[in-house]
């Protein structure tokens, strides 16, 4: 199952790469077709399953989207949550939702990724020796099991 064509997938991965140049944080996209429960709970579950809680500075971010059910969530690791205000992701969610409501899913993710990178750069600027700890490709979820 793919929601995006090859060009859109490449653009999303490139946007993650560019956003991560600004920060030591790590960004990942997880896509589901359906989410029967709460999107934040699902994002929290996938966050751990995908090893997002294993980054060295605990500054990973997962953007979760269940496109058929029109649900999404942004979740950051404890390193982020310990230093940012409680409404840290609110403006990012608003920007993404504006694109999603117009049917522009790829553009919504790209906008969200860019904003996440800019926001993370404030608290977690890039280090000269920073390494990419998490793959930049989109991961499609199926029955709560990761697959590429």
Chain centroid offset of residue 118 CA: 13
Looking at every residue in the chain, the average pLDDT score rounds to 88
CA atoms within 13 A on the CB side of 78: 4
Contacts of 121 (CB under 8 A, 6+ apart): 22, 23
Half-sphere exposure of 139 (CA within 13 A, CB side): 24
Q: How far apart are CA 42 and CA 20, in angstroms?
A: 24
- Which residues, 6 or more positions from 114, have their beta carbon under 8 angstroms from its beta carbon? 15, 18, 19
Write the pLDDT tens digit of every residue in 14-34.
999 999 999 999 999 999 999
Tens of pLDDT, residue by residue over 44-100, are 999 999 999 998 889 999 999 999 999 999 999 999 988 888 788 898 999 999 999
The third-level CATH classification (topology) of the domain covering 6-147 is Diaminopimelate Epimerase; Chain A, domain 1 (3.10.310)
Helix (H) or strand (E) holding 148: none
pLDDT at site 135? 72
Tens of pLDDT, residue by residue over 87-97, are: 888 989 999 99
């Amino acid at each position: 199952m793919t929601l995006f064509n090859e060009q859109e997938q490449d653009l999303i991965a490139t946007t993650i790469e560019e956003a991560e140049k600004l920060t030591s944080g790590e960004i990942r996209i997880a896509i589901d077709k359906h989410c029967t429960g709460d999107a934040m709970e699902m994002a929290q579950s996938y966050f751990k399953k995908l090893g997002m809680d294993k980054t060295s500075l605990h500054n990973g971010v997962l953007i979760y989207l269940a496109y058929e059910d029109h649900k999404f969530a942004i979740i950051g690791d404890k390193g982020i949550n310990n230093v940012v205000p409680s409404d840290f992701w609110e403006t990012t969610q608003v920007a993404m939702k504006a694109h999603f409501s117009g049917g522009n899913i790829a553009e919504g993710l790209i906008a969200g990724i860019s904003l996440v990178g800019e926001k993370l750069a404030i608290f977690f600027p890039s280090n000269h020796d920073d390494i990419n700890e998490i793959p930049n490709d989109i991961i499609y979820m199926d029955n709560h099991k990761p697959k590429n």
